Chains A and B, each alone.
Chain A
């Protein structure tokens, strides 16, 4: 069953036509990776899925509910279902690690602090940071901060998790600890849509790879086919440049 359904999506930034009719279907449990050169529209596409970017034409359907381009209430509903992890972590510096995780379920859903505490501890254990509940974000390494950010997104129990270049701001030796967490989520059946430059990881973990080029989906398919037998010259160039 399709969980996310994107049809005919167009977006302009002033004179720039950055998404030129994108269609994408993501099923429950899919791990979809968006790849492409910078400026190809992959991050923009990802960010339209939870309304951080508006769009001009087309529609996004999530679990059967269609979201218009500018509908604040529908957007709120959408964001309850879609979690996001960012390149720059974006932890709240004035809250402890535990508070970062508990804040939005408490504020948005009004869940009880007692239950939230337990859940936050469980989430931290899951990302390998069980002892960091009372730490402050700026006491953590980049890799640790990003794992907290993943736990924070999961605390809202999203149906889909968007990952926007989540290892691009990390020192090389910290990349794997974050990817290991994502890999585990994928194995547990979490639906993931990622933009990443880690091609090996994309090939290992995803079951669908989308190559974006000039605002369109240029080529898409199973990673084994896509990476070993790219059909278009653009993807051939891209693959030989990055792998």
Chain B
């Protein structure tokens, strides 16, 4: 084999990679926060069987957990303009990620809510708390703590899945990679480095969420 590896050719494109990385992080952060909120609201509607919202969320969850992310993305970006709804690539990517993560978050958080010991609810009822007060002050935090590892995994999956957003020209990390390798013809080096960046980001994200989230939810509890 006479191929000469040239990683410097990739290093020269560091600013491009950094910009893509930043966009990936930004998309993931928004998806994480908005997805969590959707998850909490949806999980309450499902767990409490609030009609008609429980049915709406059930349909939403099944639709987005049982179709490919790429198809969801293409539908938003290429499909909706047919109805006169034009969405910029960045917005479409963000929206797709939020909706996708939200669907999984509903089910993850619901399982946490439903695992609340009955005694906790009864104790709160006996203290004259109303239903939503019980949810807010007694159920929510322990439920999130219970499912936080699962929630963290799902955020990491969505972050990695955001690579396909390059297909609609969202300028995130994999878009940067594809751009760079088309300029320097160093596909091996470019994708090798890009894979390394995704790996590092995934590990960092997982640790940050697990520790940070755990700390936030536990508030100094041993």
**Number of residues from A at the complex interface, CB < 8 A:** 28
Cβ of A156 < 8 Å from any Cβ of B?
yes
Contacts of B206 in A (CB 8 A): none
Partner of A94, one of B124, B130, B133, B221: B221
Cβ of B145 < 8 Å from any Cβ of A?
yes
A86 to B118 Cα, complex, angstroms = 12
Partner of A104, one of B117, B127, B221: B127
Contacts of B204 in A (CB 8 A): none
Complex contact B221–A136 (CB within 8 A): yes
Smallest CB-CB separation from A134: which chain B residue? B220
A94-B145, A139-B222 given; A104·B119 CB < 8 A: no
**Number of residues from B at the complex interface, CB < 8 A:** 23
A103 to B126 Cα, complex, angstroms = 13
Partner of A86, one of B122, B138, B219, B221: B122
Proximity string of chain A (136-147) to chain B, C-beta cutoff 8 Å, 1 when within and 0 when not: 101100000000
A84 to B123 Cα, complex, angstroms = 8
Closest Cβ–Cβ distance, residue B103 to chain A (whole Å) = 27
Cβ of B125 < 8 Å from any Cβ of A?
yes
Complex contact A90–B123 (CB within 8 A): yes
Instruction: Determine chain B's interface SS by DSSP, over half rule.
Output: helix
CB under 8 Å from chain A, chain B span 125-181: 125-130, 133, 137-138, 141-142, 145
A88-B119, A90-B120, A94-B142 given; A52·B126 CB < 8 A: yes
Partner of A90, one of B122, B219, B222: B122
CB under 8 Å from chain B, chain A span 28-59: 50-52
Complex contact A86–B222 (CB within 8 A): no
A189 to B105 Cα, complex, angstroms = 51
Closest Cβ–Cβ distance, residue B150 to chain A (whole Å) = 18
CB under 8 Å from chain B, chain A span 104-159: 104, 107-108, 136, 138-139, 149, 152-153, 156
Contacts of A108 in B (CB 8 A): 127-130, 133
Smallest CB-CB separation from A96: which chain B residue? B221
7 CB < 8 A contacts A-B: A50-B125, A51-B125, A79-B127, A90-B119, A92-B137, A152-B127, A156-B128
Residue positions of B touching A, CB distance < 8 A? 117, 119-120, 122-130, 133, 137-138, 141-142, 145, 217-219, 221-222
